[in-house]
Structure 1
Amino acid sequence: MHIACGVNEKGHREIIGLRITHGESSESWSAFFDYLKSRGLQSPKLVTSDAHAGLVASIKESFLGTSWQRCCVHFLRNIMDTLPKKSTSEARSELKELFKTPNLTFTRELKDRFMDKYQDVKGFAKTIEKLDAGFEDAMQFHSQKIELHKHLRTTNMLERVNREIRRREKVIQIFPNDQSAIRIIGAILMNIEEDWSKTKYLKSL
């Protein structure tokens, strides 16, 4: 199931697409994005997602001129997973600070300090490699207003939608066919969007 959520020029959230698929490949994502464009979607300013290789490749191919924002929550979790299990509480705190600082120049300084500090420490090679490789992709939200950062740097909005769908579909367990799934999940998404319409998401727009 591919779902896309967006924020329109007035700052309100919308469900902009739902499609049932039977795989998660670059081709399936490209087909989904073609479907969105056929319904009128033009290249958005920013697309936030996790770093699934097929998804990222399709975003960059389908939306020329669009910035890709790597979800900071997923990225930080991936970095943390490479750290040694013991005696790394200080390093973990330092990594978290990277994603709390609104000033990009200072964030880059913190990142460089971290890499200098731990480059020769045993067990940190993969951590430094992963941080360096994905850092700029995780910082694209800095191109927008500071007031928007917390909303753009993660996929939290979509994660909440997914949790609500899972909560409801557990009752059903098995869908007899794709159309059945689209009807039921579509109804859930319509209710979510109706709730969204009551409040402005990006208030500074």
Structure 2
Amino acid sequence: MTQINFTLNFDKLKEELVQSDLNDFVKSAMVLVLNEYMEKERDDYMENQAYDRSEDRHDYRNGYYNRDYVLNIGRVELNVPRTRSGNFSTEVFEKYKRCDQAFLLSMTEMFVNGVSTRKVSNIVKQLCGENVSKSMVSNLTKKLDPIVKEWANRPLSVYNYRYLFVDAMYIKVREYDKVVSKAVYIGLAVREDGKRDIVGLQVAHAESEENWNNFFDHLISRGFRSPKLIISDAHAGLKTAIQQKFIGSTWQRCSVHLRRNIIDKMPKKDSQEARDLLRNIFEAPSLKVSRMLKEEFMNRYEDEKKYQKALETLDEGYEDAIQFFSEPTEAHAHIRTTNVLERLNGEVRKREKTIRIFPNQQSAFRLIGAVLMDCEEAMDPGNKKYIYFKE
């Protein structure tokens, strides 16, 4: 019998099959290759060829048994070699299992990217010709739990963080047969070297001082130290929690949120000039210029009654919104607003809107955590930095 020697690259084979038309001929070719590989495995185990006669043989061939095997190209039937003693076992199923794991991970990735379990099931049906229940997809995604939990609880003492952005967004969760709102607390920090990390994630009840305290306590318990600047909106409970938990840190009120609050109190008609001047106040090249523009704004509109509430809001929130000027100039555009965190929230929203209502709080934590992990992996790769601090 002619001996066949070849090395089977399962990853390459899988890639070529996935890119093919996946017709019956391809499936047949796959069966031939796998059957021949298993035959070669048994020959190696036997240390002889079929029909060879030797007195020191340790086992005997004992035909084959049929086994259905579901690959990502569909169901195939294989002829699995066996021996009389039963000691021989093929490695084909274990080796190809690694490829199947990649397919299962792809199913998980579809879920993380916002594809519903129903749609994932339909996609698998089209690709494989096999039914995959929604419960199977749901159970598969639960394998993310320990991964997300480990990431969300990882130590933060490895780096010194210079800035911390915090915000809360709201989602819908089913709880005791009712649909309720839950707050998702997210923290994004900038290291001393200018790179970013997503340092905090919690899903809890409505935004409150108590819940913000719990969020910050969790950061501190993992080794997070007081940053120079904490950037957020002006939620009262959040402000109080920052003062209590991070003594020595400066609070920077998001200038965009403040501008929106001021604009809401301005006349809607014929106010474009005032809006432009207001924007220039917070985008000034220096603190000195910003104060000059602020005084100009106050003087120009102080006698106009319809601007009085806007002037009061500006005067009340101005100092908290210009704390970024105390930091290096190259950081100003990045830290005067929470825009960087708003964009991150937007990535979560893109995935979350397909689900609309999470079945429970844990599923929300799982999906949002997986999304944030994915975002963090793509954040500031290689030598790229969010802020390039001058030496």
Which aligned pairs between 1:90-129 and structure 2 lie closer than 5 A?
90-129=273-312
Partner of 2:271: 88
Partner of 1:176: 359
Preserved CA contact (<8 Å) 2:226 2:247: yes
CA deviation after TM superposition for structure 1 residue 44, in Å: 0.7
CA deviation after TM superposition for structure 1 residue 176, in Å: 2.2
Q: Computing the radius of gyration over CA atoms, which structure comes out larger, 1 or 2?
A: 2
1:6 corresponds to 2:192: no
- What is the TM-score with the length of structure 1 in the denominator? 0.96
| Structure 2: distance between partners of 1:194 and 1:14 | 9
CA distances 1:8-50 after superposition (whole Å, capped 9, x unpaired): 1111110001001111111111111011101111111101001
Calculate percent identity across the aligned residue pairs. 52
Question: Amino acid of the residue matched to residue 158 of structure 1?
Answer: L
Partner of 1:200: 385
RMSD: 1.1
CA deviation after TM superposition for structure 1 residue 59, in Å: 1.0
CA deviation after TM superposition for structure 1 residue 190, in Å: 0.6
Higher helix share: 1
| Structure 2: distance between partners of 1:92 and 1:175 | 40
| Structure 1: distance between partners of 2:324 and 2:380 | 24
CA deviation after TM superposition for structure 1 residue 92, in Å: 1.4
Which aligned pairs between 1:25-174 and structure 2 lie closer than 5 A?
25-174=208-357
| Structure 1: distance between partners of 2:270 and 2:367 | 48
CA deviation after TM superposition for structure 1 residue 57, in Å: 1.3
Partner of 2:372: 189
Instruction: Please identify runs of 4+ aligned residues in structure 1 that moved more than 3 A.
Output: none
CA deviation after TM superposition for structure 1 residue 173, in Å: 2.1
| Structure 2: distance between partners of 1:89 and 1:202 | 32
Number of equivalenced pairs: 205
CA distances 1:111-132 after superposition (whole Å, capped 9, x unpaired): 1121112111121110110000
When structure 1 is superposed on structure 2, of 193-202 and 123-132 the one drifting more is 193-202
| Structure 1: distance between partners of 2:285 and 2:319 | 14
Preserved CA contact (<8 Å) 2:380 2:386: no
- What is the TM-score with the length of structure 2 in the denominator? 0.51
Higher strand share: 2
* Distance of aligned partners of 1:113 and 1:197 in 2 relative to their CA distance in 1, 3 Å threshold: closer
| Structure 1: distance between partners of 2:370 and 2:275 | 41
| Structure 2: distance between partners of 1:64 and 1:181 | 32
CA deviation after TM superposition for structure 1 residue 142, in Å: 0.2
| Structure 1: distance between partners of 2:353 and 2:275 | 35
* Distance of aligned partners of 1:88 and 1:197 in 2 relative to their CA distance in 1, 3 Å threshold: closer
CA distances 1:155-197 after superposition (whole Å, capped 9, x unpaired): 0111011111011011222222222111111111111110114
CA distances 1:48-95 after superposition (whole Å, capped 9, x unpaired): 001111111111111101011111111111111111122222211111
1:21 corresponds to 2:217: no
| Structure 2: distance between partners of 1:89 and 1:152 | 26
Question: Amino acid of the residue matched to residue 313 of structure 2?
Answer: K
